[in-house]
Amino acid sequence: MDDRTTQAALSLTKFGIGQPVPRKEDPTLVRGEGRYTDDIGLPNQAYAVMVRSSEAHGIINGIDTGTARGMPGVLAVLTGEDLKAYGGLKCTLPLKSRDGSPIKYVPRPALATDKVRFVGDPVACVIAETIAQAKDAAEAVALDIEPLPAVVSARDAAKPGAPQLYDDVPGNIALDYQHGDSAKVAEALKNSAHVVTLPLINQRLVVAAMEPRSAIGEFDKKDERWTLHTCSQGVFGMKNMMRDILGVPADKVRVLTGNVGGSFGMKATMYPEYVAVLHGAKVLGRPVKWTDDRSGSFVSDHHGRDYDMTVEVGFDKDGLITALRLTGYGNLGAYCANFGPMLPTVNVTKNIISMYRTPLLEVATQCVFSNTTLVSAYRGAGRPEGALSIERSMDIAAVELGIDKFELRRRNFIKAKEMPFATPAGTTYDSGDFPGLFKEALAQADAKGFAKRKRESKKAGKLRGLGVACYVETTAAMTQEQGGIRFNDDGTVTIITGTLDYGQGHASPFAQVLTEKLGIPFDKIKLMQGDSDQLIHGGGTGGSRSATMSGAAIVQASDKVIESGKKLAAHVLEASAGDIEFKNGTFTIAGTDRAINIMALAEKLRTITLPDDMPKTLDITHVTEAIVGTYPNGVHVVEVEIDPDTGLTRVVKYNAVNDFGTVLNPLMVEGQVQGGAVQGLGQVLLEGVVYDAAGQLVTGSFQDYAMPRAHDAPMIHVANRPVPTKTNPLGAKGCGEAGTSGGLPAVANAVIDALSDYGIKHLEMPMTASRIWEAIEAAKATKKSA
């Protein structure tokens, strides 16, 4: 056995699938050596600053750019008139209303021309030699906007007489979505022994990624080719959106993405600023760069959540679910973001069933325009909202039915022997052991010892509550994905795939898959995702699907490498291809000790002449067929302590047990769950966007918008209880959004459980200290007056 074969065997032991390998990129990032869009400086680049509306709704009577154009260093001032030749930013979802009509929306112009529809709506772009000059000139652009009445909530926007954002979208309703048999659900609820009815608001959230959005536009006049450097969730999808707006063939567009400092769904689409810098680069003949500041991010980045729903769950006399109905509104904001209408409709529908046997389901959601920032995907994108709806309902039902909340869930679980299980949401769970997972989660959380811990908290003057939440997440639609493997001249190997790492840490688990399949040393593997010129396909990252999509593509591409490698190894070893075996990175003539390592073979191929009928390289470019989605699931058990004198709440105990199928890297899975759980915690206890009646953003900075800090997060213990799926070669299920799907309802249930000592059954989020204190004081007053 040569050194390379020995190294391959050792690499499998340490770096194969299932090993807790640290993230490859972390040493670079923690040293500050990452390369984000704003770190890029191109020769002779100019700088852009956006001019935004300070009115939430109004008619544009004029934009005076004269003064700005004459200021030092100013190269151009663009308005909507300059960009009319380009297509609008579109919502491409093929959604239909209950009457069969397609979703109603108006493509969004890059710069507003007739009306502004939210505070932050861009109306002009100033380009100058320096950023300071551009900012000074932007302040000199004078806007003549005639104010119109504004509306900020979806429920109010759908009312008769509400201000209308678009002439051709009556009632501001872009989509009147309906799933399920209304008559059957209504009949089942009518005949149920008990019905829980819960009005539930998922408040609007600011995404607040660490890295603000940034973009650099380039135009090559000779080749008539556009290049966009920007943060994204997938360069191939961004390229397609960009070429549609520009109206050019695919080969005339290139998108480049380096490191990305968080996105959670927000950076998945084109934005108006990108069109402006591209046009600016063309007319000026030089690169144009734009980077948002934090105050701009608050009004221009897509927001998350903002659903106003009513949940109704029917139960029979034994506590079994008879039917579930969800009705209400989803706020789209002022324009239709690419993914916005999907979230409170299709995504909630697919995720509200959770682990429970539910005979009948109806979801009816009106997606409504309002004079607010656009709403689109935010970690979970309808999944945590669905989980919150059913899990809050289960806790309320347990109290009203007089059944232990654990027992009520057990009675309604879908059993492992019932898999595959078809749900009324149109999904089919292929695998899972929900009762077993639930049992293990309660054991790991020591649920039996909670009563003792509650007594100890009471002695300390604190309220203690325990919340449990189950979830089954339907991952995003699995389309095709590229799996390219390239053996480089320097002895390294590059994986090329169309997902994109914007904080997940793809490099290590993808390399682990390749190490497992081909025995390539882990430290020799690179990852290429951020150059659209390198891709022939790419689904991007989103919806907890990267491991399954890119993982399957890498597995299939590896099989093709082995197939080619056997032919090439047979030629080099002077044997028949049928006699070649492959194991642990080495091609061997069966029954002999004659062998060649895959890395040595790749090196050898660069120095020899091969027959015409033989592959010339081990390199493979492969695109998968569409891959079936997965159903990760889990149970989160949370305990909180509340100081009744102040309302201050702390999460003091957190256990999560999950089924992610085959776990590629347990260390990274743990981090993903913890991050998602903290975002769920943040929504329950701290975060919430507030607009005033005129559409002005009240929570427009971190001085007014509360983000979870390190001291808000407890130790989050994560365990895996996998039931591998058979729908992809790895047996993996997604995990990226699962922490939020479990964390959001578990923390909410824990808080209400603690407040139940005062008879409080529900509280709207965010359950801030002041809101909790007020609820406790109101409960005390009610009790005293009774």
- Confidence check: pLDDT of 9 > 70: no
Confidence at residue 94, expressed as pLDDT on a 0 to 100 scale: 92
Helices (H) and strands (E) in the chain, counts: 20, 28
Confidence at residue 4, expressed as pLDDT on a 0 to 100 scale: 60
Q: Contact 595/586 with Cβ under 8 angstroms? A: yes
Beta-carbon contacts of residue 159 (< 8 Å; ≥ 6 apart): none
User: Percent of the chain beyond pLDDT 90?
Assistant: 94
**DSSP letter, residue 170:** G
Confidence at residue 10, expressed as pLDDT on a 0 to 100 scale: 58
Mean pLDDT of 603-621: 92
Q: Contact 420/778 with Cβ under 8 angstroms? A: no
Phi and psi of 92, rounded to 5°? -100, 10
| Lowest-pLDDT range of 163-167, 503-507, 517-521, 544-548 | 544-548
Q: Is the dihedral of CA 292, 295, 297, 299 positive or negative?
A: negative
Nearest residue to 391 (alpha-carbon basis) of 354, 357, 365: 354
Task: Report the C-alpha gap between 291 and 273 in whole angstroms.
Answer: 9
Label residue 14 by pLDDT band (50, 70, 90): confident
Tens digit of pLDDT for each residue in 246-296? 999 999 999 999 999 999 999 999 999 999 999 999 999 999 999 999 999
Q: Which helix (H) or strand (E) holds 215?
A: strand 214-220
Mean pLDDT of 14-33: 93
Q: Contact 270/242 with Cβ under 8 angstroms? A: yes
pTM passes above 0.85: yes
Label residue 626 by pLDDT band (50, 70, 90): confident
Tens digit of pLDDT for each residue in 193-221? 999 999 999 999 999 999 999 999 999 99
Nearest residue to 117 (alpha-carbon basis) of 369, 376, 377, 375: 369
Mean pLDDT of 35-44: 97
Mean pLDDT of 373-379: 96
Confidence at residue 612, expressed as pLDDT on a 0 to 100 scale: 87
Mean pLDDT of 586-606: 95
Task: Report the C-alpha gap between 446 and 444 in whole angstroms.
Answer: 5
Task: Report the C-alpha gap between 305 and 498 in whole angstroms.
Answer: 27
- Confidence check: pLDDT of 438 > 80: yes
Task: Report the C-alpha gap between 311 and 370 in whole angstroms.
Answer: 23
Mean pLDDT of 384-406: 97
User: Percent of the chain beyond pLDDT 70?
Assistant: 98
Confidence at residue 627, expressed as pLDDT on a 0 to 100 scale: 82
- Confidence check: pLDDT of 7 > 90: no
Label residue 1 by pLDDT band (50, 70, 90): very low
Task: Report the C-alpha gap between 765 and 752 in whole angstroms.
Answer: 11
- Confidence check: pLDDT of 115 > 60: yes
Average pLDDT of the chain is 95
| Lowest-pLDDT range of 74-78, 314-318, 589-593 | 589-593
Cis? peptide before 199, omega within 30° of 0: no
- Confidence check: pLDDT of 12 > 70: no
**Tokens (6 digits) for 579:** 């006699």
| Lowest-pLDDT range of 189-198, 303-312, 328-337, 775-784 | 775-784
Measured CA to CA in angstroms, residue 35 lies from 25, 28, 373 at distances of 11, 10, 29
Tens digit of pLDDT for each residue in 523-569? 999 999 999 999 999 999 998 889 999 999 999 999 999 999 999 99
Label residue 338 by pLDDT band (50, 70, 90): confident
Long-range contacts of the stretch 641-644 (C-beta < 8 A, 24+): 641/457, 641/462, 641/463, 641/464, 641/754, 642/462, 642/463, 642/464, 642/465, 642/751, 642/754, 642/755, 642/772, 643/461, 643/462, 643/463, 644/461, 644/462, 644/463, 644/773, 644/776
Mean pLDDT of 405-423: 97
Beta-carbon contacts of residue 29 (< 8 Å; ≥ 6 apart): 259
Label residue 477 by pLDDT band (50, 70, 90): confident
Q: Which helix (H) or strand (E) holds 306?
A: strand 304-315
Q: Is the dihedral of CA 536, 537, 540, 544 positive or negative?
A: negative
Label residue 5 by pLDDT band (50, 70, 90): low
Confidence at residue 95, expressed as pLDDT on a 0 to 100 scale: 95
- Confidence check: pLDDT of 476 > 90: no
Task: Report the C-alpha gap between 757 and 414 in whole angstroms.
Answer: 32
Amino acid at 33: E
Nearest residue to 473 (alpha-carbon basis) of 304, 352, 345: 352
Confidence at residue 260, expressed as pLDDT on a 0 to 100 scale: 97
Phi and psi of 58, rounded to 5°? 180, 160
